[in-house]
Amino acid sequence: MDELVMHEIIRTNYSGSVSQMSAYTGIAAQALGVIIGGIILWRASAVFHKKKKKERSRNAFFETPYSRGWKRK
């Protein structure tokens, strides 16, 4: 790099001017929050669906002696 460009970068970083690091940190925190929130909602949905599936009863119309004795191998 050119010395002038390097000097400008150093002066900008250490002069106390507004840094973009806080903006990047905020965006990273929001992204992390969305990912964690999505995982929590996904797992809660899976648990709720499992309970709902367990509560359903099979229709008695399809219960026959043949269907009770038949198993897929």
Q: Model confidence over 14-34: pLDDT tens digits?
A: 766 656 777 788 899 999 999
Is the pLDDT confidence value at 68 over 60?
yes
DSSP of the chain: --HHHHHHHHHHHHTTPPPSHHHHHHHHHHHHHHHHHHHHHHHHHHHHHHHHHHH----GGG--HHHHH----
Distance CA 53, CA 45 (A): 12
The model carries a pTM of 0.50
